[in-house]
């Protein structure tokens, strides 16, 4: 089963980085100057993509990306990766790390993180 991921259009050194992925949805933020893009990652490519994301995240900004499938949630920061579940009780270390980088708590929600929530998220019914 493939992974789905959520990437911001403004978080990468290469502005064309997102073009390498199969995109399934996008949503412009109402409060911030970015667009969230939903991408599909073949399971056999996830480790390679995690490394590529880390290498391509901007050096001077505290951004992250996340990927998920089933009961897996992978949160990717520039210098650290957390493997948790969609259950928020497993996110404490990932949230703490994000806050230590200066990311506001309301941006550390890792949504969507289940396939069944994507449609509502990208329609703007949940999140933000």
Mean pLDDT of 100-122: 93
- Are the C-beta atoms of 91 and 84 separated by less than 8 Å? yes
Domain ranges for the chain: 3-122
Model confidence, pTM: 0.94
| Lowest-confidence pick of 3-17, 35-49, 112-126 | 112-126
Quick: pLDDT tens for 13-40: 998 999 999 999 999 988 888 899 999 9
DSSP string, 84-126: E-SSGGG-HHHHHHHHHTT--GGG------SHHHHHHHHTTSS
């Amino acid at each position: 089963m493939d992974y789905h991921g959520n990437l911001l259009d403004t978080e990468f050194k290469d502005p064309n980085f997102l073009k390498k992925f199969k995109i399934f949805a996008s949503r412009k933020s109402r409060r911030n100057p970015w667009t969230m893009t939903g991408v599909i990652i073949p399971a056999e490519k996830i480790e390679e993509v995690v490394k590529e994301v880390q290498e391509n995240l901007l050096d001077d900004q505290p951004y992250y990306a996340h990927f998920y499938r089933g009961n897996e949630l992978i949160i990717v920061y520039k210098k650290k990766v957390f493997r948790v579940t969609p259950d928020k009780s497993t996110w404490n270390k990932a949230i703490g790390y994000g806050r230590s980088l200066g990311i506001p708590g309301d941006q550390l929600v890792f949504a969507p993180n289940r396939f069944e929530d994507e449609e509502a998220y990208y329609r703007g019914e949940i999140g933000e």
